[in-house]
Structure 1
Amino acid sequence: PLFMGEQLCDVTAETFGFRWVKWTADKGFFLNGNHHYFHGANVHQDQAGWGDAVTEAAQRRDIKMMKEAGFDFIRGSHYPHSPAFSQACDEEGMLFWAEAPFWGIGGYRGDGYWDCSAYPVTPSDTAAFEQSALRQLEEMIRIHRNHPSIVVWSMSNEPFFSEASTLSGVQRLLRRMVERTHQLDPTRLAAIGGAQRPLGENRIDRIGDMAGYNGDGATQPDFQQPGIPSIVAEYGSVTADRPGDYAPGWGDLAANEAWRGVPWRSGQAIWCGFDHGSIAGSALGKMGIVDYFRIPKRAWYWYRCAYRGIEPPVWPTQGNPAALRLEVIGNKEVWADGTDDVQLLVTVVDSIGRDLSNNVPVDLCVTNGPGEFPTGKTICFRDNSDIRIQDGKAAISLRAYYAGKCIVEARSPGLKSAIVSIDFVGAPAFRPGQSVEVVNRPYTSFIRETAASLQRFGRNNPTFATSHLDGHDAGMATDECDSSFWQAAVTDDAPRLTIDTEKMLEVKRLRFLFPPVKAKRNFTIEISNDRQHWQSLAKVELQGEQTIYEWKADDELSEPRGRFVSIRWDEPETAMVGEVEIYGIVCR
């Protein structure tokens, strides 16, 4: 309560709960005294059309979707989520990793765009940057610390994506953040999220009380039994449009069946729960097991079956469309105050109501009463559009700022329409001709005005190998260290090194540095979108004393596109790489 003298001016109440957690370096995680290996998902909060301006109801639906698939842990990637999100995790029984926004995304340049250094490269900016990072960390802890679902505070995600000269600044800031966390909340651990680089003596994972390793960090030798509590904070990263494959997408967790868990590890979280917006190319934003419009991909059904024993539905097939089915997902009465909304799901069906995978054009229209889509009173779904219908389904959320009955109609040329009504409450009544009418807001796809620039990839990107000799791990081929290199085991009959740029690229140039050997090297350079289907770029034979090889795209031919670059050797004796540099343009 807040008083002015004896007059009560304001009051707020906060619900809290009790639970006991214990993180260990050798036996994993314990919840209320019981050992618990958790299976989780990374969750961005933005949704199609509305961006980050999502309602509390929409955030709760996200949490419930992850729970329905059998997940019991969410990593709030990669910034503080709203208090409503934390409250919904409390009430839905979801463990929550809350994260501060010290976040690298894969670039090293100066300020100005997404590929900039996570830590500032201009010395005069560092004091204000660190102050801002510490302030946001403090605000996150003070706002959310009474939520029992939160089991750890994370300082970062992949802050090593910083210009090399700033590494000492990255380490200093992380130490300051850990110290501040201990001051503000001594009851929870301070984690370093995305701590899988650098390798060796400069590693950052042990700066905090525990670590979360992304991607190849699950299998890098440096991070096996690291001596502190740890989790796999991201695995998978499978890019797919809906419907996608009925598969888990384990990624590097498939090695040695690590997806089953190991005794010293506390849990694992898939990258990621939902597709999200991305300025760094659409491929990066399509790694969810649920799409941007909140329709599950087939991977979501795989997890629901594996974790909860619920068989998947019959997949829709092509047929003769006859009608549309329109469903409302949400409360019977919907608050018209900006905190509540409903999701509308439209499905193409045949004459007897069976789901079809035909992608016909669909318009959703508010024909009467309050209610609006991100684009106004009408939204249009088209195949191969940003506002898309895929596999015969489309969805979007609807909200209102007036009370009253909203009528929505789903239309498609030649098909029977579908109509639903939604009751909005808790606001002034909508009065036609008197209330402010919703205006249409046509969607405009983002196109960067300046020309796309050539960027370098490889350094600190996830790197995978079929084998390695002790002291010559896969990550040493992308660590930008002159004295280290990857080398395959002599027993490896088909040695291969693969770099995941994590972006879809038009590849322009590749540069490989090798340690000298006596024998000839024979290898093939390949590129792929999915690590399953490979396109050969070059078959190479080098003399042993040649330590540099460069490949360039043919200007007269279209540049190859792909996310993964791989080198495949004919024999293990010469399978070794000192550094891989990948130059390309990020595809939209």
Structure 2
Amino acid sequence: MKKTLICLLLSVTAIFKAEAQKTPSATNFNQGWQFVKDIDTTNSGTKLSTIKTASVVWENVSLPHTPQLEPVKKVKEQWQGTCFYRKFFTVPAADKGRHIAIQFDAAMHEADIYVNGKHVFKHIGGYLPFYMDVSDVVKYGRQNCILVKLNNQDNAAIPPGKPIKDLDFNYYGGLYRNAWLIKKNKLYISNSVQAQREAGGGVLVHEEAVSDKSAKLIIKTDLNNDFKAVKEASVKLSLIDDAGKTVAAISSKAQAIPAAGHAVFEQHLTVENPKLWSPSHPYLYQLKIQVLQNGKEIDATAFQTGIRTVKFEKGEFYLNGEKLTIVGTNRHQEYPYIGYALSDNAQFRDAWKIKDAGFNFVRCSHYPPSPAFLDACDQLGILVMDATPGWQFFGGKEFQENSFQNIRDMIRRDRNHPAIVLWEASLNETNMSKAYMDTANKIAHEELPFTGVYTTGWMDYAYDVFNPARQHLKAPDYWKKYNKPKPLLIAEYGDWEYYAQNAGFNQKEYAGLKSEERNSRQTRADGQQRLLQQALNFQEAHNDNLYGPGFGDVNWLMFDYKRGYAADLETSGISDIFRVPKFSFYFYQSQNGPVADVHGFGKPMLFIANYWNDPAQKTVKIFSNCDQVELFLNGKSLGKQKPDTGMFSNNLKHPPFTFHPASFTTGKLTAVGYLNGKQAATATQATPVGTPSKIVIKADESGKSWTAGSKDALFFYAYLTDENGTLVPTSSNKVKISVKGNAQIMGNAMVDAEAGIASFLLQAGDKPGTVEITATADNLKPGTLIYKVH
């Protein structure tokens, strides 16, 4: 990533680790911005930095922000162009002599920064943060203006590099993550990329000699001294458990830090009887780092980390010495309407849904995610493949140098997350040169020169782990005959081989189906037959992958998304773009458990994959992690069964259950799941009575309540039901939503219901309070929900 200093007054340039947002010296800088786009850019840095700007109408905004709300159904390419953000702020005179910096967690994707009309910084790249030391630039005790000029137009030098119109995802513009104002003593903990030192900067943690009896943590803390004289300091480390008890601590001796220089403090903490991090028990400690002078704290940071060991071998993955099969998914970070501008809560909710779906692994396709998403994976227990930006494009020298810097910056930002077990230092589905791959792999190991660090790439060269897509070979073998010593992970499956290669091992369900009915790209509105086909495709592919030499697989994908190269949504998600589950969601959920983890995921479950509204659909498919299921129709037992067997089920942890009622009779299906002969779970599905008559509104919190003052966008769903409250899945009525209170509708206020559900996105305002949400439709009883914003 190329960084260019324009103003010599800007002393240190860097990318600041995500831990800044948890540092006491960092305050949120998201409020009070102004925004404008599509204007004359001539002399914009100086011209737009004054309060009064002729002929420019600024919009008051806060971050995260997207330049334009985009329709869910694409009518043209997403907005690309030049836009501007500016903010007026004051740094008190008392702060003169301190280290003052501003950090942006992301800006898409070419940023020019002006402070008080002077161009001081340029950043290239849209997915990683940048940090500016403005100590010698700001005016103390007076008003300052920071102006950010952003351009997200196609640029072959900026990964992913491929033009939007040819790209299989979108990169939306804007300051779409958090911003921070940092004030510190001039002797301070640097950030992890600030000094541009291999395996240096900030705080670096790694483990050695880990067992359930003890573990050694080796912590390196990098201090910057911006004073013009030598300074002495010591570093105190404290490891604190989730009960607030300090379980290990150490203080260094005082060490001299040279003037305008830096020093590294390496310290070892021994933890007795450590609680190891894993997907089922994602135990996190808090690591507190204090910089002391004469016993007085002058800087500090704290972040959560976990203790675990990782080992990949041919055909096997070991976490904490125990073999674990990876069952994963891919995720794009896009939301409807707002693009990439998700709140931290929204990032957490996506992770919650991934865990709820039964996955223990997520691949961040095809770029580094938000730090908040990685924090959520740490907390919930989701293993992560972190990925550098790239997809089907290999640029020239400048592109490659920017890509190498992306890899370094990604690792420096994210290296202390226990959830990350693989570093995808590879450009996805790109014909990379061997020289590029050798360098990318080398960079990752330079940044993390320890055992238990693994790179991964889609080409079988250079990287530690090979992660091809299933469709990169053909049916029926795919990767089952791969016999090289390298560990193998199927990083994509379930979509393209069915969409483009007409895959399927003689599925009986293929008979009479059109090609569009056979593939995995199905919307909820396509009906239960096609939703069942999608679920069967994923089941077949996942079951078949388990024959092979891999240690796991990662489906394509979790959520539907928009892309540049096609006008329609990519709909192979197991949930739609509004995060409403399809039948496939419950197939994967059934592969987890039936013993709940510490967060309650993986408990005994049942899902009836049949609306029971169509006489032609007499087969009843049930997804469950129970060992027996009994099905009742209107109270009469249709029998108790064990899971399915056969070529689509024999490798599954929990195959589905398939019932064949003798005839179709309207009424209520009830499924009862048993574990060791005892009832463990139940589910019901009733036949809807007639057409919809009323609306029921539900909110989707997914582990995080709706929060004011953070641009928190929450999904609300209007269910079209009969008088008994049963969803009518054939309904597509137009539904309109209205809001009273401190919230606003993002995107369309009137939408067509899809399979009986109309989906809306609402953003909380600046203050807590009660919001009244009403949904109406012609000839239906309105639905109202009173909801509290915290």
**Amino-acid identity (%):** 26
Question: Is 1:245 paired with 2:531?
Answer: yes
Residue equivalent to 1:154: 424
Q: Tell me if the contact between 2:521 and 2:571 (Cα under 8 Å) persists in the aligned partners.
A: yes
Question: Is 1:191 paired with 2:455?
Answer: yes
Residue equivalent to 1:134: 404
**Corresponding letter in the other structure for 1:325:** V
Q: Tell me if the contact between 1:98 and 1:153 (Cα under 8 Å) persists in the aligned partners.
A: yes
Following superposition of structure 1 onto structure 2, how do residues 370-519 of structure 1 map, counting pairs within 5 Å? 370-375=742-747, 379-382=749-752, 389-403=753-767, 404-425=769-790
Q: TM-score by structure 2 length?
A: 0.45
**Corresponding letter in the other structure for 1:288:** G
Please give the secondary structure, in 2, of the residue aligned with 1:291.
coil
Distance in 2, matches of 1:363 and 1:16, equals 45
Ranges in structure 1 where 5+ consecutive residues have no aligned partner: 105-117, 121-125, 196-203, 383-388, 426-588
Q: CA deviation at 1:370?
A: 1.4
Please give the secondary structure, in 2, of the residue aligned with 1:102.
coil
User: Quick one: structure 1 residues 231 and 45, their matched pair in 2 at CA, closer, same or farther if it must change by over 3 Å?
Assistant: same
Distance in 2, matches of 1:261 and 1:36, equals 16
Distance in 2, matches of 1:380 and 1:405, equals 22
Q: Tell me if the contact between 1:43 and 1:274 (Cα under 8 Å) persists in the aligned partners.
A: yes
User: Quick one: structure 1 residues 146 and 280, their matched pair in 2 at CA, closer, same or farther if it must change by over 3 Å?
Assistant: same
Q: CA deviation at 1:294?
A: 0.6
Q: Tell me if the contact between 2:342 and 2:713 (Cα under 8 Å) persists in the aligned partners.
A: no
Q: CA deviation at 1:56?
A: 1.8
Distance in 2, matches of 1:35 and 1:271, equals 24
Residue equivalent to 1:3: 185
Ranges in structure 2 where 5+ consecutive residues have no aligned partner: 1-22, 24-183, 188-292, 496-519, 594-603, 614-687
**Corresponding letter in the other structure for 2:720:** V
**Corresponding letter in the other structure for 2:356:** E
Residue equivalent to 1:175: 438
Q: CA deviation at 1:249?
A: 5.0
Residue equivalent to 1:462: none
Please give the secondary structure, in 1, of the residue aligned with 2:423.
strand
Residue equivalent to 1:67: 355
Residue equivalent to 1:215: 470
Q: Tell me if the contact between 1:293 and 1:394 (Cα under 8 Å) persists in the aligned partners.
A: no
Residue equivalent to 2:460: 205
Please give the secondary structure, in 2, of the residue aligned with 1:406.
strand
Q: CA deviation at 1:58?
A: 1.8
User: Quick one: structure 1 residues 47 and 255, their matched pair in 2 at CA, closer, same or farther if it must change by over 3 Å?
Assistant: closer
Residue equivalent to 1:457: none
Q: Tell me if the contact between 1:275 and 1:286 (Cα under 8 Å) persists in the aligned partners.
A: yes
Distance in 1, matches of 2:541 and 2:756, equals 36
**Corresponding letter in the other structure for 2:741:** G
Q: CA deviation at 1:327?
A: 0.7
More helix by share: 1
Question: Is 1:323 paired with 2:323?
Answer: no
Number of corresponding residues: 380
Distance in 1, matches of 2:337 and 2:786, equals 21
Following superposition of structure 1 onto structure 2, how do residues 286-325 of structure 1 map, counting pairs within 5 Å? 286-308=571-593, 310-313=605-608, 315-316=610-611, 317=613, 319-325=690-696
Distance in 1, matches of 2:373 and 2:588, equals 23
Q: CA deviation at 1:49?
A: 1.7
Residue equivalent to 2:376: 88
Q: Tell me if the contact between 1:235 and 1:250 (Cα under 8 Å) persists in the aligned partners.
A: no
Q: CA deviation at 1:269?
A: 0.6
Q: CA deviation at 1:275?
A: 0.4
**Corresponding letter in the other structure for 2:754:** Q
Distance in 2, matches of 1:291 and 1:255, equals 20
Question: Is 1:233 paired with 2:462?
Answer: no
Q: Spell out, residue by residue over 1:485-528, the C-alpha distance to the aligned partner (whole angstroms, 9 max, x if none).
A: xxxxxxxxxxxxxxxxxxxxxxxxxxxxxxxxxxxxxxxxxxxx
Please give the secondary structure, in 2, of the residue aligned with 1:177.
helix
Q: CA deviation at 1:402?
A: 1.6
User: Quick one: structure 1 residues 334 and 230, their matched pair in 2 at CA, closer, same or farther if it must change by over 3 Å?
Assistant: same
**Corresponding letter in the other structure for 2:303:** E
Q: Tell me if the contact between 2:546 and 2:552 (Cα under 8 Å) persists in the aligned partners.
A: no
Question: Is 1:360 paired with 2:733?
Answer: yes
Q: CA deviation at 1:349?
A: 0.4
Q: CA deviation at 1:30?
A: 0.7
**Corresponding letter in the other structure for 2:185:** F
Q: CA deviation at 1:421?
A: 2.6
User: Quick one: structure 1 residues 96 and 145, their matched pair in 2 at CA, closer, same or farther if it must change by over 3 Å?
Assistant: same
Residue equivalent to 1:43: 331
**Corresponding letter in the other structure for 1:276:** Y
Q: Tell me if the contact between 2:771 and 2:786 (Cα under 8 Å) persists in the aligned partners.
A: yes
Residue equivalent to 1:23: 312
Distance in 1, matches of 2:572 and 2:542, equals 23
Q: Tell me if the contact between 1:30 and 1:36 (Cα under 8 Å) persists in the aligned partners.
A: yes
Q: Tell me if the contact between 1:402 and 1:424 (Cα under 8 Å) persists in the aligned partners.
A: no
User: Quick one: structure 1 residues 65 and 344, their matched pair in 2 at CA, closer, same or farther if it must change by over 3 Å?
Assistant: same
Residue equivalent to 2:86: none
Question: Is 1:340 paired with 2:622?
Answer: no
Q: Tell me if the contact between 1:332 and 1:422 (Cα under 8 Å) persists in the aligned partners.
A: no
Which of these residues, 100, 120, 130, is aligned with residue 388 of structure 2? 100
User: Quick one: structure 1 residues 320 and 285, their matched pair in 2 at CA, closer, same or farther if it must change by over 3 Å?
Assistant: same
**Corresponding letter in the other structure for 1:90:** D
